[in-house]
Amino acid sequence: MQSTGRGLRSPRGRAVLALAVVLVLAGALALGLAHGRTARTPGTADVGADGLPHTTVEVSPGRCGRGWDAPEPGLQVFDLHNTFHRAAEVFLEDAASGAVYGEVEDIGPGTTRPLTVRLGKGTYRFRCLPEDVDAATGPTVRIDRGRSGPAAPPVTAHDLIPPALDYQRWVADGLDEAVARAVRLQQAVDRGDADAARAAWLPAHLQYERLGAAYDAFGDADGVINGTDAGLPGGVHDPDFTGFHRIEYGLWHGESTRSLKAPAAALVTALTTLRDDWAQARMDPAQLGLRAHEILENTVQFELTGRTDYGSGTSLATARANLDGTRAVLSRLRPLLTTRYAGHADLQRQLDRAEHVVDGFHHGDRWTPLGRLTRAQREKVDAVFGDLVERLASVATLCDPRRVA
């Protein structure tokens, strides 16, 4: 991915999840950061500075889950102490169903990490997964009263293969249409009809945006097709400024159509190459849930800040296309989410609300530019998209495939 334009998106997106020390299942209480507590004698439950009972639990292949000898219901903290010589991942799961109540990743050798959960009536056990070693399961612990917090069955890579293949076929069909619309744009440019070119630009651009070019979906091709001038020495006049936004700049800044013939032809070539390459590619199923989150996070960072507007004033149209792209991902994940994500129905309602808000700025063949929104309108748009990004972070976490053996 190029260092300019949309190539900036994916590494930033990776950091959002990679920097989280602890991944918590959707709706679960946020986990505290490591707070310097020393490991206590296994079997004891001290009250920490946070006012919660703390129990030290061992993490190792031979003694996974040891130390939880006095189970009690309620909100509590397990201080997971890794006595093994390799880093480990740990789940707290329902012993009967395998549903996960909490997870801590990358517990280094000799270190302790906290896991905060609410437990009630049921049977539980820890599953320890050290690096390059078979999973180990701790002893089953029973609690006879109380109500537990949320839990969800882990998603495996195998679960994600069918939805990923279906999504990949949908993208392939969308790329066919993107090429066709880009050809119509090129034809208008070639015959010197600037008005027709401006009319053809937006449908072609939105078709591409709906395909969710987030998290390295299209590799280096995205920078060529949809990159910006960010970081280019010559800015909008740099030879490496290409694709939709290069053409947008020219069409809305009085350039002659003659000067846009080469960029339009290059755009068609790049899209055609991407379409042909995509037919032979195999999308990583593990990225599907993350893509649902990244599409709208990118929208907030790029479209809703105006950073990708080169004169057409259609940032809100692009945001609307990105909502369509998010729905395309979520529709493939629905069978997994309906049994795992308690907020799934609310997420769908919030998507409906966001579409309604954005559609209010569409008038015939025109969209209200970001700069013409009132403060109240802008706050409403920002709020609805910000809420969606937070909800979709839970989707990304739930659909992150987990090792189970």
Q: Indicate the domain borders of the chain.
A: 5-15+157-398, 27-143
Query: What is the residue type of 41?
Result: T
CB 129 within 8 A of CB 83: no
Under-50 pLDDT residues of the chain:
1-43
CB 313 within 8 A of CB 367: yes
Secondary element (H or E) of residue 74: strand 74-82
pLDDT at site 213? 74
Instruction: Write the CA distances from 145 to 39, 45, 101, integer angstroms.
Output: 28, 18, 17
pLDDT at site 27? 38
Question: Residues 6 or more apart from 380 whose CB is under 8 A from it?
Answer: 357
Token representation of residue 152: 């969800």
pTM, whole model, 2 decimals?
A: 0.80
pLDDT at site 214? 64
Residue among 136, 265, 110 nearest 188 (CA): 265
pLDDT at site 45? 67
Round to whole Å and give the CA distance between 121 and 142.
Answer: 8
Residue 253 CB coordination number (10 Å): 10
The CATH class that applies to domain 27-143 reads mainly beta
Which CATH number does 5-15+157-398 carry? 1.20.1420.20
